[in-house]
């Protein structure tokens, strides 16, 4: 309250309190006191006399507008003429009350406070709306999703800023359906036209994925979704929707597919390359049953060529020959399955049996490198549902790596199996070779990372993919002494993971 008359100040306060106002009055008589009072954040209303000995109401009004434009300012004065009062309201005063008619004070204060409250609420709502619009615009920019509205009856279209950015049009341009179609790739225009025409006729929501052909010749992929909204008038409807730039998503999907195909090819090449390592072992292993079959054939011929053919002995020799040839055929089938391409097949698999097969197949390779293969297999190990050929590939990768790690130092390769405390199957392939550093142990399963001079860096990466597709986990660790150990786990039960096609 800017008032120099104590009696008038008390009378004004009493009038307000008599009408149930709870007042805390800060009274000012000078410019300094008034400026100090404006700094009080708790002030809700300014009542000011027009003339004071050392200050005046108009100067106070200008100060209040500059510092606290939101505060209601009411002149309460006995010396305020009609023209001055009107001028004061034009400047920014909320109202004026003549002291000779103080009955108007309470209604004036009530109206001023109500209007101030409404202004504050409006301002708060506007700020919230602006903030919401800002958040929405930023969210659209980050997600590359624009919004649009379309009135089929009038043809009017509304685009958000992000939609303009997606179509690469200036915001000053008024969008039209034809403009949108012109920007659409020629091969997609007819289909898009059919989609929006059908939605317009049936008043149904629609989804459209199509390409945009930009001015520089580049192509964008977009996805538009919209649904009809009738509002208050059921006879009139508009489409409200969103359009998303999915170019990067499509490119990423294509790149993932390309990399997946590349990895499958490299994995296949990795498996085929192992055949060179197996060539010597395969020749050695097949040579034995074939040589035995040849001897048995000679024995059979001998028994049959006697003056009195001994059919019994000849039959025994022929049976032995058949068994030897069957064994050779089984070896060929077993090895050829390792490089056969096709759809992975899941079946019940005995991991111990696969270890024994790989130990035989890699036996000659190990001997040439002065490496002995030792197995420590749990005889009670249960079977698991898996792709037999892929697990053969994993074990062959791990065992060959171990043999190569010891090719200059000799050593022992140990393959062990057991069941873990949580019921999974654990396989370990341990060597006494050059070992791994902590950093290498973390990275050896990355594609194209290798510690071998002529390695491709694909064997362990493929092995990890295979084990993961079976619901398992693979890792490596340096041994306490020499060498390294590679482990992988597999669940006993079948998993829902997608198989790796290799």
Q: What is the pLDDT of residues 173-209, one digit of tens each?
A: 899 999 999 999 999 999 999 999 999 888 899 999 9
Of 398-402, 408-412, 421-425, 471-475, give the lowest mean pLDDT range.
408-412
The architecture that CATH gives domain 144-245 is 2-Layer Sandwich (3.30)
Task: Give the model's confidence band at 108: pLDDT under 50 very low, under 70 low, under 90 confident, else very high.
Answer: very high
More confident residue, 428 or 21: 428
Q: For a pLDDT cut of 90, what percent of the chain falls above it?
A: 30
Residue 67 corresponds to which tokens in the numbers above? 């510092």
Higher pLDDT, 180 or 499: 180
Q: Is 232 helix (H, G, I), strand (E, B) or coil?
A: coil
- Cβ atoms 481, 412 nearer than 8 A: no
Structure token digits, residue 158: 């509304």
SS3 per residue for 259-276? HHHHHHHHHHHHHHHHHH
pLDDT score of 436 more than 80: no
pLDDT at 495: 47
Listed range (138-152, 351-365, 412-426, 453-467) with the worst mean pLDDT: 453-467
Q: Which contacts qualify for 491-494: CB closer than 8 Å, 24 or more apart? A: 491/384, 491/424, 491/425, 492/382, 492/383, 492/384, 492/423, 492/424, 492/425, 493/384, 493/385, 494/346, 494/385
CATH code that applies to domain 6-121: 3.40.50.2300
pLDDT for res 321: 81
**Other C-beta atoms lying within 10 Å of the C-beta of residue 494:** 14
Give the tokens for residue 189: 């225009």
Residue 457 pLDDT level (bands cut at 50, 70, 90): very low
Task: Read off φ and ψ for residue 211, nearest 5 degrees.
Answer: -105, 150
Check residue 276 and give its pLDDT.
55
What is the 3-state composition of the chain as percent helix, strand, coil, each rounded to the nearest 5?
Answer: 50, 20, 30
Q: What is the pLDDT of residues 317-371, one digit of tens each?
A: 788 788 778 767 766 665 555 555 555 578 899 999 999 988 887 887 788 888 9
| Triad 140, 142, 148: Cα angle to 5° | 20
Looking at residue 455, what is its pLDDT? 44
> For residue 209, what are the β-bridge partners?
223
Q: What is the pLDDT of residue 384?
A: 92
pLDDT at 501: 44
Low-confidence winner among 80-89, 282-291, 316-325, 486-495 (lowest mean pLDDT): 282-291
Q: What is the pLDDT of residues 250-305, one digit of tens each?
A: 888 888 887 677 666 656 666 665 555 455 455 655 666 777 777 778 888 888 88
What is the structure's pLDDT at 195? Answer: 92
> What integer is the mean pLDDT of 80-93?
82
- What mean pLDDT is reported for the chain? 82
Which fold is adopted by the domain 256-490?
Answer: Heat Shock Protein 90 (3.30.565)
Domain residue ranges of the chain, discontinuous segments joined by +: 6-121, 144-245, 256-490
Q: CA 256, 257, 260, 261 torsion: positive or negative?
A: negative
pLDDT in tens, 41-70: 889 999 999 888 889 888 999 999 999 988
Determine contact, residues 169/220, Cβ cutoff 8 Å: no
Q: What is the pLDDT of residue 303?
A: 84
Q: Does the fold of domain 256-490 match that of domain 144-245?
A: no
* CA proximity to 272, closest of 159, 156, 393: 393
Q: Give CA–CA dist 390/344, Å, rounded.
A: 8
CB-neighbour burial class of residue 42 (10 A; exposed 0-12, middle 13-18, buried 19+) = exposed
Give per-residue burial for 219-238: e unless 16+ CB within 10 Å, then b. ebbbbbebebeeeeeeeebb
Helices 388-405 and 351-361 pack at an angle, to 10 degrees, of: 50
Q: Which residue has the higher pLDDT, 236 or 201?
A: 201
Confidence class for position 2, pLDDT limits 50, 70, 90: very high
| Mean pLDDT, residues 447-468 taken together | 63
Mean pLDDT, rounded, for 403-410: 82
How large is the greatest C-alpha to C-alpha distance in the chain, in angstroms? 157
CA atoms within 13 A on the CB side of 317: 16
Residue 271: predicted pLDDT: 60
For the chain, what percent of residues have pLDDT higher than 70? 83
Return the minimum-mean-pLDDT range out of 141-150, 328-337, 452-461, 483-492: 452-461
């Amino acid at each position: 309250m800017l008032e120099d008359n104590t009696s008038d100040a008390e009378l004004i306060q009493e009038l307000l309190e008599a009408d149930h106002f709870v007042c805390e009055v800060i009274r000012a008589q000078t410019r300094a006191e008034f400026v100090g009072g404006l700094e009080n954040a708790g002030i809700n209303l300014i009542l000011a006399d027009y003339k004071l000995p050392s200050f005046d109401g108009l100067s106070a009004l200008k100060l209040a507008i500059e510092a606290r434009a939101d505060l209601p300012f009411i002149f309460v004065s006995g010396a305020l003429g009609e023209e001055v009062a009107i001028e004061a309201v034009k400047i920014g005063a909320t109202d004026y009350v003549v002291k000779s008619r103080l009955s108007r004070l309470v209604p004036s204060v009530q109206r001023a406070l109500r209007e101030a409250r409404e202004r504050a609420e409006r301002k708060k709502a506007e700020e919230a709306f602006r903030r919401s619009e800002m958040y929405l615009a930023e969210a659209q920019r980050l997600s590359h999703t624009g919004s649009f509205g379309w009135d089929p009856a009038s043809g009017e279209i509304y685009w958000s800023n992000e939609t303009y950015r997606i179509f690469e049009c200036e915001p000053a341009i008024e969008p039209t359906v034809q403009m949108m179609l012109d920007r659409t790739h020629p091969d997609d225009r007819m289909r898009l036209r059919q989609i929006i025409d059908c939605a317009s006729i049936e008043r149904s929501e629609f989804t459209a994925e199509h390409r945009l052909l930009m001015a520089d010749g580049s192509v964008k992929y977009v996805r538009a979704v919209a649904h009809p909204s009738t509002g208050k008038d059921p006879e009139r409807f508009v489409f409200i929707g969103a359009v998303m730039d999915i170019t990067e998503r499509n490119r990423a999907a294509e790149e993932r597919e390309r990399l997946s195909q590349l990895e499958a090819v490299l994995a296949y090449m990795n498996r085929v390359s192992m055949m060179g390592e197996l060539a010597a072992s395969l020749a050695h292993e097949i040579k034995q049953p074939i040589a035995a079959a040849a001897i048995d054939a000679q024995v059979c011929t001998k028994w049959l060529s006697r003056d009195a053919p001994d059919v019994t002995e000849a039959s025994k020799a022929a049976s032995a020959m058949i068994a030897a040839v069957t064994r050779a055929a089984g070896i060929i089938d077993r090895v050829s399955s390792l490089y056969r391409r096709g759809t992975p097949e899941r079946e019940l698999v005995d991991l111990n049996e696969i270890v024994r097969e790989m130990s035989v197949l890699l036996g000659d390779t190990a001997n040439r490198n002065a490496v002995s293969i030792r197995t420590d297999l749990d005889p009670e190990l249960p079977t698991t549902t898996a792709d037999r050929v892929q697990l053969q590939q994993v074990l062959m990768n791990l065992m060959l790596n171990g043999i190569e790690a010891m090719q200059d130092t000799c050593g022992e390769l140990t393959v062990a199996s057991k069941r873990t405390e949580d019921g999974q199957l654990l396989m370990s392939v341990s060597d006494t070779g050059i070992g791994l550093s902590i950093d290498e142990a973390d990275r050896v399963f990355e594609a194209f990372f290798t510690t071998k001079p002529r390695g491709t860096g694909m064997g362990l990466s493929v092995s990890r993919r295979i084990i993961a597709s079976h619901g398992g986990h693979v890792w490596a660790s340096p041994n306490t002494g020499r060498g390294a150990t590679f482990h992988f786990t597999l669940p006993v039960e079948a998993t829902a993971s997608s198989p790796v096609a290799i």
